[in-house]
Structure 1
Amino acid sequence: MENKGLILSPILREGMVLQRDKTNRIYGTDSLAEMVTVSFNGKEYCARVSDNHEFSVELPPVPAGGPYCITVTGSSEITISDILFGDVYILSGQSNMELPVRRVLDVSAEEVSRTNIPEIRQYLIPATFNFKEPEKYMCTAEWKKATGDAIMDFSAVGLFFAKEIWEKYHVPVGLIMTAVGGSTIESWMNPVTLRRFGSFEAEVEDFQDIHYFHSFIQKQQEDANKWLEAIEKEEEHFDFSKEYLKWNTCRIPSLVSDYMDEPFSGSVYLCRELYLGSEQKEDNAYIYMGSIIDSDRVWINGTLIGRTEYRYPPRKYSIPKGVLKNGYNLITVRIVINQNNGGTIAGKPYHVYYNGETINLEGDWYYKVGKKSNTVMPSVLFPPLLPIGFYNATVVPLAKIQINGVLWYQGESNTGRPKDYADEFAAMVSDWRKLFGWEVPFIYVQLPNYREPLNTTEDTGWAELRDQQRKSLSLPKVAMVTALDVGEWNDLHPQNKKIIGVRLAKAAMHLIYKENIVYSGPIPNEISTIENCVIISFQHLEDTKQEQLLTNFEIAGEDGCFYEASAIRKGRCVYLTSKRVNTPVSVRYAWCDNPTNINFFNDAGLPATGFRMDIQ
């Protein structure tokens, strides 16, 4: 913020939501005044401007409601209108918290279309970094209402959470959206605290100069762009309509490793004909090309229908009226593979929707290499993986804002090194609470099931990280949402964000609003043995008399090898045995990246946490 005249913190602006029933600060700078006056609700509140031109005026607690106006007078006058008092939550973590509503319309379009709640508002802070020192103020954004087109930019998890809170309590909800895709927990941590977990300074030392930081990334991006341009410039050109029938065949979905004998980076073209019995009659025709590693372009009858420049978004492209024709239609897909393997991912939709019909595109396609590169695409530094950047640029500037809690959905970027996650999370929570000056409630999402399509092993750290998240329940004023039943094995970003938002809201109703409700899936409590039988008692599990046979439990003996266990639920306990283990030493449940056939739920429909426990 430039220090000229009266300037308020960027988050204090029209449409903002302030925390009800707490003392709120109106703060900023004024280089041309000695005193600043805030007029609110018929009263005036004053504060002196400090020697460094800063001021902070405290407003008394206000119950839920609005809209209100606030006028701030110093060297000039600023009026903030349409202010609501309600419950304010910080949304933080990485892409599954960040994922906007527009990305979940395939599963939530109807509910989104019915949502028109101006009392729910979001302030979306853009991703910015500071690897040198904490910022005083966050980046400028706008408070948006959950109405009309603006709703598409809301965090999907945040929106569904806020809807549950609004519908239950009829209190305005403010969402401060800070999450950044790909960010590690270290990026949200205090640098002083982070030193306890090892040296990190070398990672960011050169990037304390923000100009060098941007130029460094720009140079890497230019190298990557040159690689992509060379692929396109040097690839073979051909007349698809005449030549593709002479090409080799592959299947969609499949990776190139399924039909090529060696690692491949470069471009591949895929073609097939689609026969339609009528002309396209409607505008709402789409081609679904599932999920593709890495980038793609799609043509129909020579018309470019859509393109995506990176891996993760679902490929759903609108087909303009007039493109599809009666008879044979040629579909061409160009895929660029960056790092030795890629292609189309199984389990995703591949079809054309037109005139109310769905026509399957899975099966045999023709393919031809456009250009095989001798190198992989040059890597580009991904700033969210670096430590401390978001703590300095986002967390510290938010500390003057009164909030009701933090919603945290993160961990995917830490699955490669999960061992310290519980300790790091505890340290992060402690530091944030010190910043905000009170024991802020933290509600977090345990990682769902997922299997990286390019992985060849079943366990790459997701199970261990989930267990680290479970161990974090020992912290005061935290709650965890389990999600082993709502992931998509082939998609890092499962679309069913409503169920996560609802579960977060249930946890908040218990932890923050003091409702006596079931808010958590079963959590292991105590473990004991009787001869070769292991008995585990669980919290958040009903004392039912009906027995149930459970899946995904394993027992290890003194040799440390885990074997499938017979698991029977009786009341609040699970009884485990294995013919291959005489002296049980350890137990684990759902211990892989993508556990399947999950059937351990409580009566509220909430899945048990994955875990590992040793028998003492």
Structure 2
Amino acid sequence: MKRVLILLLLACATSSFAQVKFARLFSDHVVLQRQKPIPVWGWAKPGEKVKVTLAGQAMEAKADPAGKWRVNFKPLEAGGPHSLQASAKSGNAAVNDVLIGEVWLCSGQSNMEWPVSAAKNYEDERKNADFPQIRHFRVDHVVTLQPEQDLAAGEWKVANSENVGGFTAVGFFFAREIYQKLNVPIGILHSSWGGSQIEGWISKEAMLSNDELRSYAQNLPKTWEEADAIMDKKLKKHLFKSATYDPTWEDEKKYISPDVDFTSWQKTADGVGQWDWKGLMGFRGKGYMAKEVGIASDWVAKQTTLSLAENDGLVEVYVNGKPVYEGAVKGSRKIQLPANTWKEGKNILTIKTSSMASAAWFGPGFTGSANEMFVEDGSRKISLAKDWYLMPAFAEKHEYAHLMNNVGTTIYNAMIVPLLPFAIRGSLWYQGESNAGRAYQYRQSFPLMINDWRKLWNDEFSFYWVQLSSYGIDHDSNKGSNWAELREAQNMTLSLPKTGMAVTTDVGDPNNIHPTNKQDVAHRLATNALKNDYGQNIPYASPLYDQMQVDGSKAVISFKNAENGLMIKDRHGYLKGFEVAGDDKVFHYAKAEIQGNKVVVSSPKVSKPAAVRYAWADAPEDANLYSVDGFPASPFRTDSWPGITVNARFE
């Protein structure tokens, strides 16, 4: 009897799994692309005939041996709501409130993922977010070693004050402008992952076609155990400059010594936050944190309080090699240290932490507020928030979280393949921060990904991206800039057809890699679409370097997209951000003057210009050249001298 019951349960489970269904993307409130063939797919019993209807069209398909079926509806004009229905012997499925309009795939890393709730003027935006014909589908973060057939979760949400906070800010503000200009439904298909490198978004097949990435693709791990071993070697190579070095228990005992050598440790500006974002991506296990603490002579004989932020796992604390605390508690810690724990001058504070007990995904380290990191004597306080060193405990049991940058292709497998071949008008891309260290290689990887996606969709759809904004230091060209080199790679990718770029160096934040002004970013993307996809006769693009001519001691720079002229946009009234060099390749800040749609650059220190650069820095705060149409000029250089990332490669 028991065996019969088990067989019945298995039969029911199989029957339920085999019932006709749509792919996850085809759910209530979906927006389908107008004016293009509309592919619709799903699953049923192998070999089963399926009838699918939409807006008066009826199509039939037969499920393949894996149970997958697909139909292609003829192009439709904007409208709705419609009902999408599938019927077969195994059952029926229906999708309601289907609109036909414009669909844009929004992808990249954190600045694309950045939600409306964290954007500038959120409260005002939320109050004015009632756009029932704008819908948003967010693809969950997943990585897999093999291509996935369907998404495990996700739903289309209608834009309103309740939902809009979770929408991609760039995507929503773009969609809103397009909707207000065209008055047709807009679908935002959002698949992005903060911190992701571009290599995660490229297919294995595309990598195999590229000389730079072929070797990597040929050696992709087949299991997550293999992937963890690769991550372990990469992290050891990063820290110890040797992928084969395996520290022992005895080696790691030295980490608590007052004479510890921090040469191999990971330096971080602050002691609070996930180690994933401090250069130790994915490590899960125990780890050491250490820093130097300067103590005045009159503190030595006093009892002090050591305050630490939150980690509810086991924490051990050592001062100058001596254990002073061990325990696991919830919340921040206030540890009473007896007199003479510290010595006058330099002390070494070392903390060994486990992964958090209540949030194992967090890993080792501390969460909470940096203000909780201090030592005090009752009336005075020394902050411990900054300047820490980190070291994983490799000799103890550890593993790696399956994150976006562990293995190339894995985001593509799980977050792009299930979207194929959902019809779209085009794609918006905001990524590059995580690839700035390999900017030269981005010249290949970025166009490779664009061509890869277009091939997979069998559609040369429009592809527009955001050029890296301003973040970091405003160095001169003599020191170089990997962010400037990444922007250059983005400029070069404009050679592909049906591409466009939003220049955003003027709306960034040198102190925050996530500038909150996503409205201007989205507007500059929208002008590309309104001009190139929707035929509106509007200015749409930033001035781009075209050519340089030398006239004696002056360099004359010509620009594309400056037909109506150039202008200065700041209160000072003179151009800034230009540098010039002679054959010695030494750059000097230069005088620059606008003459129509050209800029004349010179310096008394350079008698014969060989190269000019503009806004060539991580954060070119002083750059102020615009077109008369109001678009900032893209950073550029006229030379092709080797940059600082020329030898960096993806591993």
Measured against the shorter chain, the TM-score band is: 0.7 to 0.9
Aligned position for 2:99 = 84
Q: Which amino acid aligns with 2:610?
A: V
Cα pair distance change 1:478/1:211, threshold 3 Å:
closer
2:291 paired with 1:220: no
Q: Shift in Å at residue 210 of structure 1?
A: 9.6
1:185-207, CA deviations, whole angstroms, 9 ceiling, x for partnerless residues?
Answer: 11111223324214324884154
1:217-248, CA deviations, whole angstroms, 9 ceiling, x for partnerless residues?
Answer: 999324357987446956973699xx9xxx9x
SS of 2:66's partner is coil
1:20-54, CA deviations, whole angstroms, 9 ceiling, x for partnerless residues?
Answer: 12211221111166210012334422112223322
Cα pair distance change 1:373/1:203, threshold 3 Å:
farther
Aligned position for 2:403 = 383
Specify which of 133, 150, 160 is matched with residue 173 of structure 2.
160
SS of 2:541's partner is coil
Aligned position for 2:250 = none
Cα pair distance change 1:115/1:374, threshold 3 Å:
closer
Is the Cα–Cα contact under 8 Å of residues 586 and 615 in structure 1 kept in the other structure?
A: no
The TM-score, its normalising length taken from structure 1, stands at 0.75
2:534 paired with 1:506: no
Is the Cα–Cα contact under 8 Å of residues 265 and 376 in structure 1 kept in the other structure?
A: no
Aligned position for 1:134 = 147
Cα pair distance change 1:10/1:521, threshold 3 Å:
same
- C-alpha RMSD of the superposition: 3.6
Mapped to 2, the partners of 1:236 and 1:18 lie a distance apart of: 54
Aligned position for 1:283 = none
Aligned position for 1:297 = 368
1:252-267 equivalences in 2 (<5 Å): none
1:120-519 equivalences in 2 (<5 Å): 120-131=134-145, 133-195=146-208, 196-198=211-213, 199-201=215-217, 204-205=220-221, 207=223, 220-223=283-286, 229-230=315-316, 233=326, 237=334, 297=368, 333-335=371-373, 366-369=381-384, 375-376=390-391, 383-385=403-405, 386-451=407-472, 459-519=480-540
Mapped to 2, the partners of 1:213 and 1:10 lie a distance apart of: 34
1:506-585 equivalences in 2 (<5 Å): 506-544=527-565, 549-585=574-610
2:69 paired with 1:44: no
SS of 2:404's partner is helix
Mapped to 2, the partners of 1:155 and 1:574 lie a distance apart of: 38
Q: Which amino acid aligns with 1:520?
A: A
Query: Mind listing any 5+ residue stretches in structure 1 that lack a counterpart?
Result: 248-259, 268-293, 299-307, 309-332, 337-363
SS of 2:194's partner is coil
Mapped to 2, the partners of 1:604 and 1:427 lie a distance apart of: 32
Mapped to 2, the partners of 1:109 and 1:560 lie a distance apart of: 50
Q: Which amino acid aligns with 1:584?
A: P
Mapped to 2, the partners of 1:71 and 1:546 lie a distance apart of: 56
Is the Cα–Cα contact under 8 Å of residues 373 and 384 in structure 2 kept in the other structure?
A: no
Q: Shift in Å at residue 369 of structure 1?
A: 4.8
Query: Mind listing any 5+ residue stretches in structure 2 that lack a counterpart?
Result: 1-13, 233-275, 288-310, 318-324, 353-364, 395-399, 642-651
Is the Cα–Cα contact under 8 Å of residues 373 and 385 in structure 2 kept in the other structure?
A: no
2:632 paired with 1:607: yes
Cα pair distance change 1:592/1:229, threshold 3 Å:
same
1:18-29 equivalences in 2 (<5 Å): 18-29=32-43
Mapped to 2, the partners of 1:71 and 1:180 lie a distance apart of: 32
Mapped to 2, the partners of 1:576 and 1:81 lie a distance apart of: 61
Mapped to 2, the partners of 1:493 and 1:371 lie a distance apart of: 21
Q: Which amino acid aligns with 2:368?
A: R
Mapped to 1, the partners of 2:419 and 2:526 lie a distance apart of: 22
2:117 paired with 1:102: yes
Cα pair distance change 1:373/1:3, threshold 3 Å:
same
Mapped to 1, the partners of 2:386 and 2:541 lie a distance apart of: 52
SS of 2:548's partner is strand
SS of 1:488's partner is coil
SS of 1:417's partner is helix
Cα pair distance change 1:158/1:335, threshold 3 Å:
farther
Mapped to 2, the partners of 1:554 and 1:372 lie a distance apart of: 34
Cα pair distance change 1:214/1:474, threshold 3 Å:
closer
Is the Cα–Cα contact under 8 Å of residues 207 and 213 in structure 1 kept in the other structure?
A: no
Aligned position for 1:358 = none
Cα pair distance change 1:368/1:573, threshold 3 Å:
closer
SS of 1:418's partner is helix
SS of 1:384's partner is coil
**Stretch deviating more after TM superposition (151-160 or 598-607):** 598-607
Largest Rg, 1 or 2: 2
2:73 paired with 1:59: yes
1:434-454, CA deviations, whole angstroms, 9 ceiling, x for partnerless residues?
Answer: 11112111000000000179x
Is the Cα–Cα contact under 8 Å of residues 471 and 618 in structure 2 kept in the other structure?
A: yes
1:389-408, CA deviations, whole angstroms, 9 ceiling, x for partnerless residues?
Answer: 12222222222110000000
SS of 2:557's partner is strand
State the identity %. 31
